[in-house]
Amino acid sequence: MIHLYIVRHGTTEWIEANKIQGTTDSPLSEKGKHEAKCTAHALNMIDFNGIFCSPMRRAVETAEIISKEIGKTPISIDALHEMNFGIYEGKIYFDAPVNTMRWWKKLGLLARILISRVTGESIRSVRSRAVQSWNEITGICPNGHILIVSHGVILNYLIGYLLPKQKYDKIKPIRLQPCSITEIILSPEQAAKLIRVNDINHLK
């Protein structure tokens, strides 16, 4: 059985500036470092068998702050890096369209998303990396308590891969908050069980 804890990295300088980050790295802000310390305190009673993180600076910083409290060394998994947003990296952040939007606004956002995928990374590639990262992690830690520290988009696809489709469809897309905790239990005998998603109570 695997008891999985998923954490998005803490707030960065670019998040505070409302900029799209992607593969352009931005360090944790002071707020982000504080969030990581709060997350460490929330998880420090768990005996983790492995801690894994994206190789990007903001995820490594978050994982190292948490790991220092827990007493484990994080392992970097290259496939956990964030999606490349192409020409929109460094530009002002924009949300995905929702059904309640007027059609022209929705069309404009869809065009931006299409351009970001053409100039950056395809969803197929991100989905493939999510599966690849999970296979690599479970090859190292096939059982026990596992912590993954990574990024919003890649973690969405990882969660979607691990949960039954019907369960994931009810919660997607998840706009994971900085240093939020998502908890999933996976066992060979039954479908993955979602314990909590995007929990930030430990930051209040």
Q: Over its length of 204 residues, how does the chain's per-residue pLDDT go in tens digits?
A: 999 999 999 999 999 998 888 888 889 999 999 999 999 999 999 999 999 999 999 999 999 999 998 889 999 999 999 998 867 676 766 566 556 667 656 565 555 666 666 666 888 999 999 999 999 999 999 999 999 999 999 999 999 999 999 999 999 889 999 999 999 999 988 889 999 999 999 998
Task: Mark whether 41 and 129 lie in a shared domain.
Answer: yes
HSE at residue 119, side-chain half, CA atoms within 13 A, is 13
- Give this prediction's pTM: 0.89
Task: Mark whether 143 and 199 lie in a shared domain.
Answer: yes
Can you say whether the dihedral through the CA atoms of 103, 17, 178, 54 is positive or negative?
positive
Task: Mark whether 64 and 20 lie in a shared domain.
Answer: yes
Task: Mark whether 31 and 90 lie in a shared domain.
Answer: no
Task: Mark whether 111 and 127 lie in a shared domain.
Answer: no
By C-alpha distance, which of 155, 179, 187 is closest to 168? 155
Range of the domain at 106: 85-120
